[in-house]
Structure 1
Amino acid sequence: MDDPTTQARPAGTREVLAWAFYDFANSGYTTVVLTTIYSAFFVAVVAADLDTANPGTATLLWTLGIAAANLIVLVSSPVIGAMADVRASKKRYLLYSSVACVLGTAGLALAGPGEAPLALTILIISYIAFSLGESLIAAFLPEIASSENMGRISGYGWGLGYFGGLLTLGCCLGYINHATAQEQGAEQYVPVTLLLTAVIFAVTAAPTFVWLRERARPRAEASQSYVRAAFAQVADTLRHAAHLPDLFRFLLCIIFFQAGVSTVVVVAAIYAQEVMGFSSQRLIVLIMVVNFTAALGAVVFGFVQDRLGSVPSLAGALLLWIVAILVAMRGDSEALLWLAGNLIGLAMGATQAGGRALVGQLTPAQHNGEMFGLWGLANRAAAIVGPISYGIITRIGGGDHQLSMLSTLAFFLVGLALLLGVREARGRSAALAYTARSTGSNGAH
C-alpha cells in the first residue's frame, strides 16, 4: 500500500512560500494581541479596576484566560488533527480556524474599560482558533519537505512569520504615533490596532489557501463517524507510545521548555510596562527589534539544525534562553532589558523552528495531522502551566514580577535535561518502523 501523502508531486518553491506565508499572516495576532499591545492594554485599562484593591489580579486574570483557552485546545487539537487526517481536510479546517481568529481579533475592539468578562470571552475564542490553525499548518510540513531540508523550510516559515509580526507592529506603531499626536489615549487607538491586525491576517493568509495543496487522501475510516475514527486513532497512537519513545520524550520536553516560551510571550509587555515603565511606543519598538532577531535566529538555526542535528542545536538554543532569563531577572536598567529581549528573540526563533522540524522528522508517515495535533497538545499544556504559574506567583507576591521569573527559568532547565535524552537517529528509525507496521496492518484488512 502506497503512502497517500507522497503520491502527489513534490512541493515547488511557490507552494513552500504559500505554506510559509501563513506564519507571516498569523504572527500579527501573536505580536499584537498576546505579546505587545493588547496584553498590556488589558492589564492597564480593561481590568485596571481589579488591580486597584488587589495588585496582581489583572495579570492573574489575563493568564487564567490564556490557560482556559489552552485547556480547550489541549483536548480538541489532537482529535481535530486526527479528523483532518481521516478526511484529508487539513486545509478546510485551517480556513475555518483562520476566519474565526480574524473575526475574534477584530471583536476584541468591542471590549472597553471595566469589560474584562467580554474581553476574556473574545480572547479565548480567538486564541483557540489561532492555536488550532497553528497545529494544522504545521501538519503540512512533512508533506512539502524532506528530512534533509525540513529544518530549513521550518526556519523559513518562522523567519517569514517574524517579518509578518514586524509588518503588523509597524502599521500599528504608525497609527499609534498619529493617534497620540492627535492627543488620543489607549482607549481610542488600541481598538484600531486590533482591526488593523485582523485585516493584515486575512489578506496575507490568502496565498496559503490559493497555492498550498492537500496531498493526503481520505482514509478507509471515512465511512464511519469521523469523530469516532479520530478518537480511535489518537487512542491507538497513545497505546503504542512505546514504539515511538523519542517522539514522546520530545513532546514531554516541549511541554516544559514551551511553558517558559509561552510565559514570555504573554507577559513580556506586562513585565516591560509594570517593571520598567515602558510606554506603548517604546514597547512596540523593542518588540519589533526582537522580531527581527527572532527571524534571524529562526533562519540561521534552520541551516545549523540540518547540518549539526536537531538535538544539539536545540540544546544550544535552550542555553541561550536560560542566559536571557537570568539577564532579565537581574535587569535594573533599560539597556539590560534590551539585551535580554534580543537574546530572547534569537532563542525564540531557534526553539520554535527547531521544535516543529524535529517533531516532523520523528513523525510516522500518514499520521501528520494526528502527531502535530499532539504537538499542539504539548504546546497548549505548556501554555497553561507556564503563564498561570507566573500569574499565581505574581498575585501571591503582591505584583513582584521578578520573583515570578523563577518559575520561567525552572521550565527551561527541566526542558534542557529532558532534551538531552532524545536520540534523533533512533527516533527516525522508530517512525519508519511504525509506518511499516501501520501500512501492513491496513493492508491486511
Structure 2
Amino acid sequence: MWRMTNPPPAAVLPPAANAKTPGTTWQVVAWSLWDWGGAAFNAVMTTFIFTALYLTGDDFGGADKATATLAFALSISGFAIALLAPVAGQRSDHSGRRKLWLGINTLIVVVLTGACFFVQPHESYLLFGCLLIAAGHVFFELAGVNYNAMLLQISTKKTIGRISGYGWAAGYLGGIVALLVVYYGLIKPEVGLFGITSADGMTYRAVAVFSALWMLIFSIPVFLAIPESKPDPNMPHVGFFQSYRELFRTVVRLGRTAPHTLYFLISSAIFRDGLAAIFTFGAVLAVGSFGFKTGDVLIFAIAGNVVAAAGALSAGFLDDKFGPKAVIVTSLIGMLISGTALLFLDGKNAFWVFGLILCLFVGPAQSSARTFMGRLAPEGQEGEMFGLYATTGRAVSFLAPQLFGLSIVIFGAQRWGIIGILVVLLLGLLLLLPVKAPPHGAAA
C-alpha cells in the first residue's frame, strides 16, 4: 500500500523527481534506445507494414473482414492488460525488480514478433496472426509499465518533460530507420536480402524476423546503463491475488484523497485509446480507403515519423514550460479537426495533408500524458501508478477497436471506422478539461 497526506498527490511532484540528481547522458540515451527498438513492433509490425500490407490484405479474406478481426482481437488484449498491468507494476515496486520484469516482458514480445514468421498468406492463418499481434500488445504494455517508471529514475522536476519527449522522438526516429531497412532491403526489390522473394508471403514474414532482432538488439543498453530499482522495505510482500485487494485499496484511497489523479487516469484512459487506434488503423485506412500502395505507405510512414518526432521533441520543452495539460488539450483538438477532415475528404492528397497533421499532434499527446502521470506518482510507487496508468489506458482499450470495427460492420465500409476513433478522442478531451493540472517547471 502507499500512503498519502495533504496536499494530495495531484498537486505534489514526487520526491523522486524533486530532490535526486538527474540521470547521466548515457542513461538517458540507453533509456531512449528501448523506445527506438520498440518501434519495430509499433511502426513496422502493427502500424505500417505487417498488419497494414499483409495481415489485413486480400490473402486473409479481404480488408473489411481482416480489419474487423484484428480490431476485435486487440480489444481482447485490452482486457488482459487491464487485469495484469497494475499488479505487475505493484509487484515490481515491492520486489525491486523493475528492470528484471522489463527484460522478461521485452523478451516475450521479441518471441511473439518472431513467431509471426509462421503466419502464411491464407485466410486460415488470419486468427493466428491477429492473436500473435494482440498478445504482443499485452506484453509490450506490461514492459512499458516498468519502462515508464524508469523515467523517474533518470529525470528531475525540470527535465521530466523533455526526457520523456526524447524517448518518444527516439521511437519515431527508430521507426524511420527500421522502415527504410525493411523497404529497401526486403519489400522494394524483387529479390531482397538473403534471396528473399514475395513468394508465399515470405517478404512480410521476414519482416517479422527482422523486427524481433531489431527490438532485441536495441533493448540491451537500458539493462546495462540503469541500475535495478530498490524495493520499498515498508511494503509487505503479498500474493498474486492479494495484490488485487491492495490495488482496490489504492484506487479507493485515490478517490478519497487525490481525486484529480483518479480523474486523470480515467480521462487519459480514453484519449490514449484513441491515440493507439490511430497508430493501429491509420495505415490500414490509407491502403483500404485512400488508395495508397505499398510504396506510398512506406513514404508516408517515414514522413509521418519525422513529423511525430518533431512534435514529441517540441512537446518536451513546451511541457516543462506550460505544463502537460495544455499540451494534451491542444493536441487533442488538433487531432479532432484533422480526423474529421479525413472522414469527408477523398484521395491521397487529403490523407497526406491531414494524416501528417494527426502525426504532428499524436507525439505531444503521448509524451505529455506520460509526464502528467510522472508528476503525480509518489516516490516508491512509480511502478504501481504507471501500472494503473497502463490499466486505465487499456481497461477501455476495447472501446476504440470495437467502435472502429462496429462502424465498419454497420456502415459497410472501412472508412467509417474513423467515427469510432473521433468519438473516443472527444470523450477523452471532455473528461480531461476539469482535471487539475500538476505543478510544472518553477511552480513545482
TM-score (norm 1): 0.89
Aligned partner of 2:100 among 64, 88, 92: 92
Aligned partner of 1:35 among 36, 40, 47: 47
How do 1:22-421 and structure 2 match up within 5 A?
22-40=34-52, 41-45=54-58, 47-48=60-61, 51=62, 56-112=64-120, 113-114=122-123, 115-174=125-184, 175-179=186-190, 184=198, 187-221=201-235, 224-228=237-241, 230-242=243-255, 243-398=257-412, 400-421=413-434
Q: Distance in 2 between matches of 1:266 and 1:425?
A: 30
Could you say what the CA RMSD is over the residues aligned between the two structures, in angstroms? Answer: 2.5
* Unpaired stretches in structure 1, ≥5 consecutive residues: 433-445
2:9 is aligned to: none
Q: State the secondary structure of the residue aligned to 1:178.
A: coil
Q: CA deviation at 1:207?
A: 0.6
Q: Name which of structure 1's ranges 310-319 and 377-386 shifts more when overlaid on structure 2.
A: 377-386
Q: CA deviation at 1:47?
A: 2.4
Runs of 4+ with >4 A deviation: 3-10, 180-183
Change in 2 beyond 3 A, CA 1:83/1:403: same
Q: Tell me if the contact between 1:297 and 1:346 (Cα under 8 Å) persists in the aligned partners.
A: yes
Q: State the secondary structure of the residue aligned to 2:56.
A: helix
Change in 2 beyond 3 A, CA 1:221/1:232: farther
Q: Distance in 2 between matches of 1:348 and 1:382?
A: 19
Q: Distance in 2 between matches of 1:157 and 1:163?
A: 10
Q: Name which of structure 1's ranges 93-102 and 29-38 shifts more when overlaid on structure 2.
A: 29-38
Q: Distance in 2 between matches of 1:283 and 1:354?
A: 28
Q: CA deviation at 1:202?
A: 0.6
Q: State the secondary structure of the residue aligned to 2:57.
A: helix
Q: State the one-letter code of the partner of 2:202.
A: Q
Q: State the secondary structure of the residue aligned to 1:306.
A: helix
Q: Distance in 2 between matches of 1:186 and 1:9?
A: 54
Q: Tell me if the contact between 2:157 and 2:440 (Cα under 8 Å) persists in the aligned partners.
A: no
* Unpaired stretches in structure 2, ≥5 consecutive residues: 1-13
Q: Name which of structure 1's ranges 103-112 and 325-334 shifts more when overlaid on structure 2.
A: 325-334
Q: Distance in 1 between matches of 2:232 and 2:110?
A: 28
What is the CA deviation profile of residues 232-279 of structure 1, one whole-angstrom value per residue up to 9, with x for unaligned ones?
431221110221222111111112212221221111122111112212
Change in 2 beyond 3 A, CA 1:84/1:173: same
Q: Distance in 1 between matches of 2:393 and 2:21?
A: 31
Q: CA deviation at 1:101?
A: 0.4
Q: Tell me if the contact between 1:108 and 1:194 (Cα under 8 Å) persists in the aligned partners.
A: yes
Change in 2 beyond 3 A, CA 1:97/1:42: same
Change in 2 beyond 3 A, CA 1:220/1:45: farther
Q: Distance in 1 between matches of 2:370 and 2:205?
A: 33
Q: Name which of structure 1's ranges 367-376 and 113-122 shifts more when overlaid on structure 2.
A: 113-122
What is the CA deviation profile of residues 131-166 of structure 1, one whole-angstrom value per residue up to 9, with x for unaligned ones?
111121001112221222111110010011111111
Q: CA deviation at 1:226?
A: 4.2
Change in 2 beyond 3 A, CA 1:159/1:426: closer
2:8 is aligned to: none
Q: CA deviation at 1:121?
A: 3.0
Q: State the secondary structure of the residue aligned to 1:139.
A: helix
Q: Tell me if the contact between 1:258 and 1:379 (Cα under 8 Å) persists in the aligned partners.
A: yes
Q: Distance in 1 between matches of 2:405 and 2:399?
A: 10
Q: Distance in 1 between matches of 2:267 and 2:235?
A: 32
Q: Distance in 2 between matches of 1:251 and 1:141?
A: 18
Q: CA deviation at 1:333?
A: 2.0
What is the CA deviation profile of residues 151-204 of structure 1, one whole-angstrom value per residue up to 9, with x for unaligned ones?
111001001111111111111111211237887357121011111111111111
Q: State the one-letter code of the partner of 1:274.
A: G
Q: Distance in 2 between matches of 1:34 and 1:425?
A: 33
Q: Name which of structure 1's ranges 414-423 and 173-182 shifts more when overlaid on structure 2.
A: 173-182
Q: State the one-letter code of the partner of 2:154.
A: I
Q: CA deviation at 1:81?
A: 0.4
Q: Distance in 1 between matches of 2:410 and 2:42?
A: 27
Q: CA deviation at 1:348?
A: 0.9
Give percent identity, aligned residues only.
22
Q: Tell me if the contact between 1:5 and 1:215 (Cα under 8 Å) persists in the aligned partners.
A: no
Change in 2 beyond 3 A, CA 1:225/1:414: closer
Q: Tell me if the contact between 2:64 and 2:414 (Cα under 8 Å) persists in the aligned partners.
A: no
Q: Distance in 2 between matches of 1:342 and 1:134?
A: 26
Q: State the secondary structure of the residue aligned to 1:215.
A: coil
Q: Distance in 1 between matches of 2:20 and 2:418?
A: 48
Q: Tell me if the contact between 1:46 and 1:111 (Cα under 8 Å) persists in the aligned partners.
A: no
TM-score (norm 2): 0.89
Q: CA deviation at 1:309?
A: 1.4
Q: Distance in 1 between matches of 2:117 and 2:438?
A: 48
Q: Tell me if the contact between 1:247 and 1:363 (Cα under 8 Å) persists in the aligned partners.
A: no
Q: Distance in 2 between matches of 1:405 and 1:30?
A: 20
How do 1:417-432 and structure 2 match up within 5 A?
417-425=430-438
